[in-house]
Structure 1
Amino acid sequence: MTIQKIEELNTILEEADCLINAEQLDSAIDKIANQITKDYGDKLPIVICVMNGGLIPTAALLEKLQFPLELDYVHATRYGMELEGQVELKWHSYPQSDFKDRHILVMDDIFDQGHTLKAIVEWFKENGAKTVSCATTVNKLHDRKVEMTPEYVGAEVEDRFLFGYGMDYKGYFRNLKGIYAVKGT
């Protein structure tokens, strides 16, 4: 079964279209970091990584932010290892930091429909954060979004099934330094 799974995954990657390469990702993160530095450089924010997808882009972003900040994470998902999101948000881990009356910057991999990110932002607001903003590596272009928009977006991409740079295909490929679209999507 392992050999068959590896072959299946390698085929998915070989046939995928690279929508954003490593150089373009670096530029996208630079763009976000410059904007965030202007807005948060004097605020002692808490950067919240949305696990698991936000891990790679958050790490890249943190290397570019040269001002005092704290780091924490949440793990909340509508997807799990599925290809389509469920209605209800499932919380696996809440932040450990005392964020009451603090400036919060939530970092995630993608703004797709926005249900997960909107629920996380609302949770922080309802639980005492002073301000809450969000950043995503990519914004997927379509008209099925919730009524919110991330304040910081690195790049916009077409409406296809994406993986790489934090986003997964059935739990795999989060590690790729590129954003890919599954063939035929």
Structure 2
Amino acid sequence: MSADLEHIRQVMREADCLYTEAQVEAAIAKVGAQINAELAERNPVVFCVMNGGLIFSGKLLTHLNFPLEASYLHATRYRNETRGGDLFWKAKPEISFIDRDVLIIDDILDEGHTLSAIIDFCKHAGARAVHTAVLIDKDHDRKASPDLKADFVGLPCIDRYIFGYGMDYKGYWRNAAGIFAVKGM
């Protein structure tokens, strides 16, 4: 079932711009500098969480000036349901990270259930340390755990339904150049 394209276009026309492209790019450069300072000598394996983390990962990787191995993973807790369950791997990591530092790059830390499960998976599968980088950290008190915090955060965000830079609205606008909030959401 495809979305009504006129509705999708209207959502963009009416959306509130929370961060411009320039602000997002500056935040990505800042995160890159922080990761360079922290992980440059650790030979990390860097995993992009698909699909949301694709744009942030691609742009962030160009700011990392040290040798690294990059790959992706795709996991979900939803599997066509509206409530999350156990972690389901659509694509498990293919690069060995046993006794290595791992950097997980994702678009947003919202409630964090999936990110938390990915971190646990990497730790139990032998990673020496697991670090996380998110473009957006949504400000609310519904996190999976009060201790769940990303190691590297691009921008904080109010608790609204957002899209752009990898985050979608009904599968669309991941390509939006900025961070936008849906009107009324």
**Helix, strand or coil: the match of 2:167?**
coil
Q: State the Cα distance separating 1:98 from its structure 2 match.
A: 0.9
Q: State the Cα distance separating 1:80 from its structure 2 match.
A: 6.5
Percent of aligned positions with the same letter in both sequences?
47
Normalising by structure 2, we get a TM-score of: 0.93
- Measure, in 1, the Cα distance between the counterparts of 2:20 and 2:150: 22
**Helix, strand or coil: the match of 1:153?**
strand
Task: List, as ranges, runs of 4+ consecutive aligned residues in structure 1 with deviation greater than 4 Å.
Answer: 79-82
Quickly say closer, same or farther: Cα 1:91–1:106, change in 2 above 3 A. Answer: same
- Measure, in 2, the Cα distance between the counterparts of 1:184 and 1:53: 22
Q: State the Cα distance separating 1:54 from its structure 2 match.
A: 0.4
Match of 1:6 in 2: 5
- Measure, in 2, the Cα distance between the counterparts of 1:85 and 1:78: 8
**Helix, strand or coil: the match of 2:41?**
coil
Q: Aligned ranges for residues 55-70 of structure 1 at < 5 Å?
A: 55-70=54-69
| Match 2:136 to one of 135, 138, 142 | 138
Any conservation in 2 of the 1:81–1:171 contact (CA below 8 Å)? no
Paired residue type of 2:75:
A
- Measure, in 2, the Cα distance between the counterparts of 1:122 and 1:183: 35
Any conservation in 2 of the 1:138–1:155 contact (CA below 8 Å)? yes
- Measure, in 2, the Cα distance between the counterparts of 1:43 and 1:170: 38
Q: Aligned ranges for residues 1-185 of structure 1 at < 5 Å?
A: 5-78=4-77, 86-147=84-145, 148-185=148-185
Quickly say closer, same or farther: Cα 1:180–1:85, change in 2 above 3 A. Answer: farther
1:121-176 Cα offsets, whole Å, 9 max, x none, are: 11000000011010000100000002210000000000001111010111111111
- Measure, in 1, the Cα distance between the counterparts of 2:79 and 2:16: 24
What is the Cα-based RMSD across aligned positions, in Å? 1.7
- Measure, in 2, the Cα distance between the counterparts of 1:96 and 1:85: 28
- Measure, in 1, the Cα distance between the counterparts of 2:112 and 2:19: 21
Q: State the Cα distance separating 1:27 from its structure 2 match.
A: 1.1
- Measure, in 2, the Cα distance between the counterparts of 1:166 and 1:87: 23
1:57-112 Cα offsets, whole Å, 9 max, x none, are: 00000011111000011101235688x65233321010110110011000000000
Structure 1: any 5+ residue segments left out of the alignment? Answer: none
- Measure, in 2, the Cα distance between the counterparts of 1:29 and 1:85: 31
- Measure, in 2, the Cα distance between the counterparts of 1:149 and 1:10: 34
Normalising by structure 1, we get a TM-score of: 0.93
- Measure, in 1, the Cα distance between the counterparts of 2:122 and 2:72: 12
